[in-house]
């Protein structure tokens, strides 16, 4: 009689109850609430996965999706297919959708295609191939479309040139990873918005690396309820990156599994032996409980081992045993027991288990069959396909419950991690490397070329584990395989895996290879340096770059590419030497810049470039040929980086860099960065005092070029136009929509830095342009969520200042409290200090604004006196002029209290600057200038002129649509009429001010007016009390 292994859980009643209650609670959570998370922890063999799987019937019964993914121990700390565990999740989801009705499939597929366009879909299924079918309506196994031959091999290895690999862009950066995470977040948001419950089980999360965890975080952020995450995890080090991720999850439930107690072990043993009375097996159960510590997996395997060794036999009266004989046996762990069991299987089965254990926990039957066919003599192998041959070779292991082959599946999986580990133990440790190398070489030489791309990570991983034994004959061939695996990983934005493969390629190369195989050596070392930077391994990056600089003399394009990596690395750490390194690299390439007399050189350069650009609109610029020379492309990429760096580190050099960039494009052809250079050029014209119409013209040209070259407006060009120069040229509120679009574009493209710049300016514009405060609060909250998800600390701090200001204007819960950044520590880098100065100035301006609106003029005056660098930092935009208005109002309102003559001088200077600004931006600044002029006229007792200016200020504020400043002008005119004892006019203006403040959404300001004028609703009483 065979043993019986029950499917039901024993001794887990409370854990099952917690799991079920958490699932039902997730069904009732709001759509915008964070998804619920369950963490099941415990040692191997305790039944973590089985406990989680007990939820499947309930989810399926609710017409939901229960999908499972698993991470592999064998690939942890090394490399395999990028996102392997995450990919298995999405593959199961796609299969589950496909198994439903055709209408369900169409609903999901159509919704995805509406939300994710073709280029975005390609990025997704490049990383996760199983998504191809549901996004594009194509089978996920379809051959990739963009392929090209790589010309790395010389004559002695020409046969490799026949193998085709994916074409990969030359320019990889953090934006690829950001964009992938954004698209995965959107994908999950779409599939979860359909409304069916989704339970996502991630098994063995402890084997996930940082790349996987970043994607997992994106999945969590995109999930909409009802959505439940279940993670199973063995005990991990406190510094494991998963602990940082799990701490960020809010609705979290932890289940800690313990070993079974004595009664549960006795019941489990009784059920396995098919005994009705558990008491009959007490002696055996006590022994097993003692030697296994109550681990359910170990209990099962110990019973199987006792049966196989003849110590547990089935007789006429059922199962019998000699407990004294059992007590005398040598105890072994479960892995050793399983290994011994496998050694008793037929040789072909053992060999097949070895093959599977080397490849991973889930193995493609095609690969197994291919290796078996090429390695072992098997009957009828010529008439069977690879999958059938593999199933036959592994059939006995399937019968023994060691491996599982699902129906209609082309993959097999080990029944448990312990089984996988035991199968790997069939290989002697000292022979494992040679076995891996043998498998990798065999697969490469015999695999069908059409399937090479699908399995190239499997091949590369096998070769990597046997790299120490690679011979000179195979060195270059295998280095090429590592290069292709690394490129494909980079294309999927899996930089950790890419760096692993490139590092393995570097390990195989020698110094003399730079002479024989320069292109291969340079490309592998370059990509190794790039991925080292992208994974923050700066020591390895510097090592790679030093090798490249040593051997790339005479190859300017390669020298520039290496310099770009170096500059990007320094820039990411806010190192001011980044600009110096870039300028020196440009000098080596023949582009020299002065080290002094910047103003003179800038004036000469500006005169020349204005003459060159004269008459050149977007149409003429678009007629320029696209830049094709690799050296020039690299040169312009580095020059564009230096333009961006000079904004922070050396603004004196900015015009010269910008002019050179534009000139090189006009001379040699159009590059992708030309639109942003034209936008910077327009901003420079504005700052240098040239006609605003000329600056506006080049801003519009930049937008047209960007739309023609890239199809949409990038976040950088949007920030340089609508976030800078256009704030003076256009109605301030009209800049809000493009800035929001620029933010969305930056997040979509992975350009997070410029996206956050657009977000910051969008927050300022929404607040200062008089939008309803409730609308501003909603926008700021949305932007804050994105900033938090990308960890943009400084952007979050600035955003929080505005959130606090809006909350104060809406609720007035105490004195204004703005989190002005504390001065940086002496150990902070220079870049951090400079950005903190910008935030401090911004926060002071915000304090000045709120103090003026709420008539706290003493605070307003003291704050205005501390705005030391605001004018310089925000020069070229509208903000310094708005700041001058509030400084002037604070000075004039503070003068009657303090009698400080300095306040009058400040107000006159502010009015002078405002009139200059009004000539540039009449729609936005006219009401400011009129109102400040009216206040000065009152002080000079020029009442006729004052009243005229007040009315103009009200009229122009209404045209600009700036509600709060319209209200402020009415309030100031009402106060003026009161001082002149024109009570009817004062009543009308103050009532209008209250109405406008209410429209703006500032209830506290309305209450302030009501407290100051208690009878605003009664005209006669108002006049009597005023008198």
Tell me which residue of 732, 60, 91, 767 sits closest to 410, measured CA to CA: 91
Sign of the dihedral through C-alpha 582, 583, 587, 591: positive
SS3 readout for 856-893: CHHHHHHHHCCCCCHHHHCCCCCHHHHHHHHHHHHHHH
- pLDDT (0 to 100) of residue 935: 93
Three-state DSSP class for 228? strand
Question: How far is C-alpha 578 from the chain's CA centre?
Answer: 24
Other beta carbons within 10 angstroms of residue 981's beta carbon come to 11
pLDDT of residue 765: 93
- 514 contacts 469 by C-beta, under 8 angstroms: no
Alpha carbon distance 405, 392 (integer Å): 11
Among 43-52, 199-208, 808-817, where is mean pLDDT lowest?
Answer: 808-817
Q: Which range among 883-887, 898-902, 1018-1022 shows the weakest confidence by mean pLDDT?
A: 1018-1022
Q: What is the pLDDT of residues 412-422, one digit of tens each?
A: 999 888 899 99
* Per-residue pLDDT at 736: 92
Question: What is the spatial distance between Cα 408 and Cα 406, in angstroms, rounded to a whole number?
Answer: 6
Question: Rounded to whole angstroms, how far apart are CA atoms 695 and 761?
Answer: 19
Confidence of residue 7 (pLDDT cuts 50, 70, 90): confident
Per-residue pLDDT band for 147 (boundaries 50, 70, 90) equals very low
d(CA 246, CA 1008): 46
Q: Which helix (H) or strand (E) holds 41?
A: strand 36-41
H/E stretch holding 229: strand 227-233
What is the layout of strands, in order, in the sheet containing 403-405?
A: 362-364, 411-414, 403-405
Cβ neighbours of residue 373 closer than 8 Å, sequence gap 6 or more = 381, 386, 389
Task: Kindly state the DSSP code that residue 722 receives in the 8-state scheme.
Answer: I
- Residues 491-510 have a mean pLDDT of 92
Q: Report the distance separating Cα 355 and Cα 349, nearest Å.
A: 10
Question: Binning pLDDT at 50, 70 and 90, where does residue 640 land?
Answer: very high
pLDDT, one tens digit per residue, over 520-569 is: 999 999 999 999 999 889 999 999 999 999 998 889 999 999 999 999 99
Give residue 884's pLDDT. Answer: 94
pLDDT at 595 over 60: yes
Provide DSSP, 42-84. Answer: --TTS-HHHHHHTTHHHHHHTT-EEEEEE--GGGTTS--STTH
618/154: higher pLDDT: 618
Cα end-to-end span (Å), the chain: 108
Q: Scanning the structure block, which residue is given the tokens 């199961």?
A: 92
The torsion defined by the Cα of 134, 136, 137 and 139, in degrees rounded to 10, comes to -80
Residue 657 clears pLDDT 90, i.e. is over it: yes
- pLDDT at position 155 is 35
pLDDT confidence of residue 383: 54
Q: Is the pLDDT of residue 378 over 70?
A: no
Looking at residue 176, its pLDDT comes to 72
pLDDT digits (tens, 9 = 90+) for 51-106: 999 999 999 999 899 999 888 776 555 556 778 888 888 888 888 888 888 888 88
Give the pLDDT score at 780: 93
Sorted by sequence, the CB contacts under 8 Å of residue 815 that are 6+ apart come out as none
CA distance 544 to 555: 16
What angle do the packed helices 84-99 and 210-222 form, to 10 degrees? Answer: 40
Side-chain-side CA neighbours of residue 205 (13 Å) = 31
DSSP string, 408-428: T-SEEEESSHHHHHHHHTTS-
Whole-angstrom Cα distance, residue 167 to residue 145? Answer: 9
Specify the higher pLDDT residue, 578 or 315: 578
What is the rounded distance in angstroms from the CA atom of residue 386 to the CA atom of residue 409?
Answer: 13
Q: What is the 3-state secondary structure (H, E, C) of 766-790?
A: HHHCCCCHHHHHHHHHHHHHHHHHH
Mean pLDDT of 154-168: 36
The pTM of the full predicted model, rounded to 2 decimals, is 0.82
Determine how many CB atoms are found less than 10 A away from the CB of residue 734: 16
Three-state DSSP at 828 gives coil
SS3 category, 1007:
helix
- CB atoms under 10 Å from CB of 667, counted, come to 10
The alpha carbon torsion through 98, 102, 104, 105 (nearest 10 deg) reads 50
Contact between 682 and 717 (Cβ < 8 Å): no
- Give tens-digit pLDDT for 99-144: 888 888 888 888 888 888 877 888 888 788 878 878 876 544 443 3
- State the pLDDT at residue 173: 55
pLDDT surpasses 90 at 250: no
What CA–CA distance (Å, rounded) separates 360 from 160? 27
**Per-residue pLDDT, 1018:** 60
CA torsion 439-442-448-452 (nearest 10°) is 50
Instruction: Write down the mean pLDDT value for the chain.
Output: 85
Q: Could you say which DSSP state residue 256 is in?
A: E
In sequence order, the 6+-apart residues with CB closer than 8 A to the CB of 346 are 396
Question: What does the pLDDT read at residue 168?
Answer: 32
pLDDT tens digits along 739-749: 999 998 888 88
- pLDDT, one tens digit per residue, over 427-478 is 999 999 999 999 999 998 888 888 888 889 999 999 999 999 999 999 999 9
Span 182-226, pLDDT tens digits: 888 888 988 888 888 999 999 999 888 888 888 888 898 888 888
Give the span between the Cα atoms of 466 and 470, in whole angstroms. 7
Query: 318: pLDDT confidence band, cut at 50, 70 and 90?
Result: confident
State the pLDDT confidence band at 152, using cuts at 50, 70 and 90. Answer: very low
**What is the pLDDT, as a whole number, of residue 77?**
54
* Unique residue bearing structure tokens 């992208």: 534
β-pair type (411-414, 362-364): antiparallel
Burial code (b: 16+ CB inside 10 Å, e: under 16) for 915-948 equals: bebbebbebbbbbbbbbbbbbbbbeeeeeeebbe
Q: Report angle CA 95, 217, 34 to the nearest 5 degrees.
A: 90
The per-residue pLDDT for 381 is 56
Q: At what angle do helices 654-668 and 674-687 cross, to 10 degrees?
A: 140
For the cut 90, the answer to whether the pLDDT of residue 334 exceeds it is: no
Coil, strand or helix: which one is 364? Answer: strand
For residues 368-382, one letter each, b for 16 or more C-beta atoms within 10 angstroms of the residue's C-beta and e for the rest, the string is bbbbbbeeeeeeebe
List residues bridging with 252 in a β-sheet.
Answer: 37
How far is C-alpha 140 from the chain's CA centre? 25
User: pLDDT, tens digit, for every residue of 816-857?
Assistant: 444 344 444 455 556 666 777 888 888 899 999 998 998 888
- Tell me: the pLDDT tens digits for 942-990? 999 999 999 999 999 999 999 999 999 999 999 999 888 888 888 889 9
List the one residue out of 879, 804, 854 whose CA is nearest residue 967. 854
| Residue 511 confidence (pLDDT) above 70 | yes
Cis? peptide before 462, omega within 30° of 0: no
- Token pair listed for 122: 């390609």
The pLDDT of residue 27 is above 70: yes
* Mean pLDDT (whole number) for 496-506: 93
Report pLDDT for 156: 36
**Residue 151 in this model has a pLDDT that exceeds 60:** no
**Contacts of range 851-859, beta carbons closer than 8 Å, 24 or more positions apart:** 851/816, 851/890, 852/886, 852/889, 852/890, 852/893, 852/968, 853/809, 853/964, 853/968, 853/1002, 853/1005, 854/812, 854/1004, 854/1005, 854/1008, 855/893, 855/1008, 857/890, 857/893, 857/894, 857/897, 858/894, 858/897
Burial of 188 (0-12, 13-18, 19+ CB in 10 A): buried
């Amino acid at each position: 009689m065979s043993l019986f292994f029950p499917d039901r859980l024993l001794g887990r009643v409370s854990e099952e109850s917690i799991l079920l209650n958490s699932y039902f609670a997730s069904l009732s959570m709001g759509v915008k609430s964070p998804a619920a998370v369950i963490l099941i922890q415990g040692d191997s063999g305790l039944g973590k996965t089985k406990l989680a799987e007990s939820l499947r019937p309930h989810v399926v019964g609710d017409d939901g999706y229960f999908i499972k993914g698993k991470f592999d121990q064998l690939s942890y700390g090394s490399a395999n297919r990028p996102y392997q565990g995450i990919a298995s999740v999405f593959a199961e989801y796609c299969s589950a959708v496909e198994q439903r009705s055709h209408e369900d499939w169409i609903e999901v597929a159509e919704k995805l295609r509406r939300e994710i366009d073709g280029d975005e879909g390609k990025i997704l299924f490049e990383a996760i191939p199983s998504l191809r079918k549901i996004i594009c309506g194509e089978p996920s196994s379809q051959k990739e479309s963009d392929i090209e031959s790589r010309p790395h091999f010389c004559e002695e290895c020409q046969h490799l040139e026949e193998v085709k690999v994916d074409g990969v862009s030359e320019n990889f950066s953090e934006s690829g990873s950001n964009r992938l995470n954004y698209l995965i977040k959107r994908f999950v948001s779409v599939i979860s918005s359909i409304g069916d419950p989704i339970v996502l089980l991630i098994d063995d999360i402890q084997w996930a690396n940082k790349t996987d965890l970043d994607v997992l975080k994106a999945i969590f952020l995109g999930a909409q309820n009802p959505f439940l995450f279940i993670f199973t995890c063995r005990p991990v080090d406190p510094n494991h990156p998963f602990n940082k991720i799990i701490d960020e999850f809010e609705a979290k439930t932890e289940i800690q599994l313990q070993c079974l107690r004595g009664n549960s072990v006795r019941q489990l043993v009784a059920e396995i032996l098919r005994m009705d009375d558990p008491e009959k097996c007490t002696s055996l159960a006590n022994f097993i409980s003692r030697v296994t510590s109550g681990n359910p997996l170990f209990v099962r395997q110990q019973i199987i081992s006792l049966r196989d060794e003849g110590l547990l036999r089935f007789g006429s009266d059922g199962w019998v045993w000699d407990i004294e004989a059992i007590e005398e046996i040598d105890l072994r762990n479960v892995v050793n027991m399983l290994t011994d069991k496998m050694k008793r299987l037929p040789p072909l089965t053992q060999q097949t288990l070895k093959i599977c254990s080397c490849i991973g926990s889930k193995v493609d039957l095609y690969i197994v069959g291919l290796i078996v066919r090429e390695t072992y003599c098997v009957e009828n192998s010529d008439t069977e396909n690879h999958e059938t041959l593999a199933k036959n070779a592994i059939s006995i292991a399937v019968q023994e419950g060691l491996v599982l082959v699902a129906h209609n599946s082309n993959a097999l999986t080990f029944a448990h991690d312990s089984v996988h580990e035991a199968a790997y133990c069939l290989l002697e440790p000292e022979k494992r490397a040679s076995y891996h190398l043998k498998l990798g070489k065999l697969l490469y030489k015999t695999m069908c070329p059409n399937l090479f791309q699908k399995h190239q990570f499997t091949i590369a991983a096998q070769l990597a584990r046997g790299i120490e034994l690679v011979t000179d004959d195979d060195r270059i061939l295998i280095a090429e395989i590592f290069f292709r695996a690394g490129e494909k990983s980079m294309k999927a934005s899996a930089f950790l895996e890419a760096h692993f493969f490139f590092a393995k390629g570097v390990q195989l190369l020698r110094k003399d290879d730079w002479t024989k195989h320069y292109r291969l050596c340079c490309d592998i070392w370059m990509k190794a340096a790039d991925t080292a930077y992208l994974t923050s391994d700066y020591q390895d990056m510097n090592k790679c770059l030093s090798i490249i600089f040593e051997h790339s003399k005479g190859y300017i394009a390669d020298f520039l590419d290496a310099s770009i990596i170096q500059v990007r690395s320094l820039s990411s750490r806010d190192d001011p030497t980044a600009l110096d390194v870039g300028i020196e690299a440009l000098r080596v390439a023949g582009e020299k810049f002065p080290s002094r007399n910047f103003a003179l050189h800038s004036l000469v350069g500006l005169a020349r470039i204005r003459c060159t650009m004269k008459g050149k609109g977007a149409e003429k610029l678009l007629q320029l040929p696209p830049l094709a020379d690799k050296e020039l492309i690299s040169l312009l990429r580095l020059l564009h980086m230096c333009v961006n760096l000079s904004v922070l580190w050396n603004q004196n050099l900015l015009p010269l860099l910008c002019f050179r960039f534009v000139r090189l494009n006009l001379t040699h052809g159009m590059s992708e960065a030309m639109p942003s250079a034209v936008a910077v050029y327009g901003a420079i014209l504005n700052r240098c005092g040239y006609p605003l119409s000329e600056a506006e013209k080049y801003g519009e040209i930049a937008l047209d070029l960007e739309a023609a070259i890239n199809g949409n407006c990038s976040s950088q060009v949007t920030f340089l136009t609508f976030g800078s120069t256009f704030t003076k040229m256009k109605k301030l509120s009209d800049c809000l929509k493009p800035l929001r679009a620029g933010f969305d574009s930056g997040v979509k493209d992975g350009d997070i830095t410029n996206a956050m710049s657009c977000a910051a300016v969008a927050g300022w514009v929404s607040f200062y342009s008089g939008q309803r405060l409730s609308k501003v609060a909603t926008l700021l909250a949305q932007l804050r969520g994105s900033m938090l998800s990308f960890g943009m600390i400084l952007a979050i701090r600035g955003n929080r200042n505005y959130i606090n200001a809006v909350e104060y204007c809406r609720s007035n819960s105490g004195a204004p409290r703005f989190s002005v950044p504390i001065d940086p520590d002496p150990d902070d880098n220079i870049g951090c200090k400079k950005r903190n100065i910008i935030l401090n100035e911004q926060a002071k301006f915000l304090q000045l604004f709120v103090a003026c609106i709420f008539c706290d003029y003493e605070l307003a005056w003291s704050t205005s006196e501390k705005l030391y660098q605001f004018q310089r930092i925000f020069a070229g935009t509208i903000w310094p002029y708005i700041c001058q208005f509030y400084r002037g109002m604070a000075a004039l309102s503070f003068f009657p209290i303090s009698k400080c003559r300095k306040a009058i001088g400040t107000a006159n200077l502010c009015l002078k600057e405002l009139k200059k600004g009004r000539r540039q931006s009449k729609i936005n600044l006219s009401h400011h200038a009129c109102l400040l002029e009216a206040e000065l006229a009152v002080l000079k007792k020029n009442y006729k002129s004052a009243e005229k200016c007040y009315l103009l200020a009200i009229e122009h504020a209404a045209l600009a649509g700036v509600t709060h400043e319209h209200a402020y002008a009415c309030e100031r005119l009402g106060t003026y009429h009161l001082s002149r004892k024109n009570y009817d006019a004062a009543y009308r203006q103050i009532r209008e001010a209250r109405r406008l403040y209410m429209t703006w959404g500032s209830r506290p300001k309305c209450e302030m007016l009501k407290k100051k004028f208690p009878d605003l609703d009664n005209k006669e009483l108002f006049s009597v009390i005023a008198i």
